[in-house]
Structure 1
């Protein structure tokens, strides 16, 4: 059983490394595939049906063997595994391989039960044989002197006494247990030792030195830290995304007339702050989504931002919109500033106020 699983793995790994695999047996030999295309070629429906039918027959046999483990032998199990291995060599799809895995699980359970049965059979203990040998050691199988009939003649009595003097007879009605004890003593007899003594007898016990006790300090009353609401910010910090998008829309209206255009990078790039440039790209995307502006690419590759008229916003909503992900890393930001000679930002720089956390503050 232990060789069934590894043999399959080794066989399949070798076939993939060498570019060859094994097909169904014919005349006791396996067919080797010559190319990768032939290895991964799909089997025909008739071939899959035949393999499925044979696997179902073997599954029924395996279930019967598992239910009647008392009537099978190791040779029967080995023959069953050989047939299963020969059938597995023809499998080339996962559906049939699942049937093989189920069959292997049933066969493994049968092998486990058979091995456990063989182990129990080998450890059978014959109580009758043990009693016979024990009676022989105790002397209970020898004739008792008390059982000798008084009617025996003197010759038989003398012969019995002489035989009893040559060998010991049973001592009492329970036999010679002393003899059995000496037989067991050679396996358990040892010199008794004093196991509880691990050191000298005279030990000077050291007195425990108790140092001066420190007086416990009185606990001060507990004080809860001061609660500071982080939501209490300035008006500029309290602006949400919607208000910032409105600010960007107002900047576009003041900078670009309706229907006019501006270079996309000149509008969004803040030459003094890379993080605010990324924020400007984010707010501009919302402005384009709401239809206040549009992004176009000119034939020369320049990206421009167009201010959409209010009259055209309804028609813009009906047009098909294309979405794109704008990637603006630090190198692109530096290159755009140099290429378009951007010295000032169109969108005003936003100043964020930072709140200093005190040592005794409890922030929520």
Structure 2
């Protein structure tokens, strides 16, 4: 339907600038109408008479002529939905003769009359102009259509009454999945490791710190820090040497001092508790030692050989295998 004719039929136009007070009043009246309708019914459609329900729908129609916004139209739709549900409930509760109207029985009779025999006999009061085969699967909607045309003025179309009555409920196919069977012969027990299988290595840190202390004690004078720790063939062990040297300095067995900006290491007598009580304090520092510094030290101090001998890489034996 064209927009102009729709507006003229409803008697209203969309107006986003409608007076706010008018919109609040309209919403309040819609809510009051919805509340009175549902509370009067109290969940039972038969508590409202058909005349009362029609009167409330008329009130909704009068309110709808003042609707000019979507929020108010939503309230109108909510009320109409509730009224429709009540009307449907009242229709289901209608009694014809001695018993209530049975929807299931009505549908079964329709199916039987239109050709699908489900064990329900054709009523005697239904006349048939031609013999009907009830063994077919499709429903003959044309047959019930000819009956309906006698009572209806609606123009018949191709899909008239075509739908749910001819649809079979689909059953979900059950798919059985094959279970993977594993060959028991391929299973292997995990390797058991006992205490005797693990060869424990010596405490490398303690051993290497002691080795470095002996090397420094053999030096007559102060030694340049980089000549002590740098291994020109192994950057990793140079970093380890610096790590081991830090233990000697921490325990007070070695001292670090600078002369004209050059760091020197020398062996000292380990301080006693009396020395610390007299005011001797330990000082901490963080030294950055990366590969660029390592290469620069080798170049500047012309380091050819390592003062600390090259150490073999530590390995650990677990079971029958070696891990480096």
* Fold match by TM threshold 0.5: no
TM-score (norm 2): 0.44
TM-score (norm 1): 0.40
